[in-house]
């Protein structure tokens, strides 16, 4: 099964246009906000793919990414990322 990759472009701090790939979006029952988790497919010093997250409103025509400002929100996102990473590791181990 080949899922279509969703991408969007942002302007980085240096004014350059960067294409980002959407990893997933979700709505938190706890905060009642929608989040988008994405990557620009760059890697950090340890070789890990850099992943970013923002708040967005799916009902607006023009998507504006807003910063995540609370530790609680970051914890929700980190928990979901950990769960997805564990699922992927288990799936790969079974293959």
**What would the pLDDT profile of 54-94 be if each residue is shown by its tens digit?**
999 988 888 789 999 999 999 999 999 899 888 888 877 77
State the pLDDT confidence band at 43, using cuts at 50, 70 and 90. very high
Domain chopping of the chain, boundaries: 7-94
pLDDT at residue 1 is higher than 50: no
The 10s digit of each residue's pLDDT in 23-33 is: 999 999 999 99
Identify the residue with better confidence: 34 or 84: 34
Residue of 82, 3, 71, 2 whose CA lies nearest to 37: 82
């Amino acid at each position: 099964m080949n899922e279509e990759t969703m991408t969007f472009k942002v302007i980085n701090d240096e004014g350059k246009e960067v294409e980002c790939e959407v990893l997933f979006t979700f709505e938190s029952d706890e905060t009642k906000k929608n989040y988008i988790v994405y990557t620009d497919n760059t890697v950090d010093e340890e070789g890990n793919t850099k992943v970013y997250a923002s708040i967005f409103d799916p009902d607006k025509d023009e998507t504006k990414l807003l910063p995540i400002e609370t530790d609680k929100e970051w914890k929700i996102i980190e928990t979901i990322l950990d769960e997805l990473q564990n699922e992927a590791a288990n799936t790969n181990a079974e293959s």
